[in-house]
């Protein structure tokens, strides 16, 4: 289901309300998970092979990661993509 939501969102098919409900949580979850592991944004960006400014923008909600990068985040933090995007609480 999350793949469809991401596809619809990235292709402008979701309404603004649907986008708001399902995307605002990602920056919060990224920051929460990073802080729980005691990492700086720079350390996490380096570990994932990302530019630190790019990662900062994901965490601030100024940029949206691709589906491939969501998978990387989920694997790194050992959580589901559903959790990252707010479709589940665990």
- Asked if 70 and 81 count as a contact pair (C-beta separation under 8 A), the reply is yes
Q: Is 82 exposed, middle or buried (0-12, 13-18, 19+ CB in 10 A)?
A: middle
Distance of alpha carbon 82 from alpha carbon 88, whole angstroms: 6
Tens digits of per-residue pLDDT, 13-50? 444 544 555 558 999 999 999 999 999 999 999 999 99
State the average pLDDT over residues 1-12.
52
Among the listed residues 57, 6, 49, the one whose alpha carbon sits nearest the alpha carbon of residue 31 = 57
Which pLDDT value is given to residue 8? 47
Q: Give the fold, CATH level 3, of 2-84.
A: 434 Repressor (Amino-terminal Domain) (1.10.260)
Write out pLDDT tens, residues 42-83: 999 999 999 999 999 999 999 999 999 999 999 999 999 999
What's the rounded Cα separation, in Å, for the pair 49 and 54?
Answer: 11
Identify the pLDDT of residue 46.
98
């Amino acid at each position: 289901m999350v793949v469809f939501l991401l596809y619809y969102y990235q292709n402008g098919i979701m309404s603004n309300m649907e986008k708001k409900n399902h995307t605002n949580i990602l920056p919060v979850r990224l920051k929460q998970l990073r802080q729980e592991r005691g990492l700086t944004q720079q350390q996490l960006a380096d570990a994932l092979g990302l530019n630190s400014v790019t990662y900062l923008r994901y965490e601030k909600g100024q940029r949206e990661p691709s589906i491939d990068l969501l998978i990387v985040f989920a694997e790194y933090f050992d959580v589901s993509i559903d959790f990252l995007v707010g479709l589940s609480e665990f």
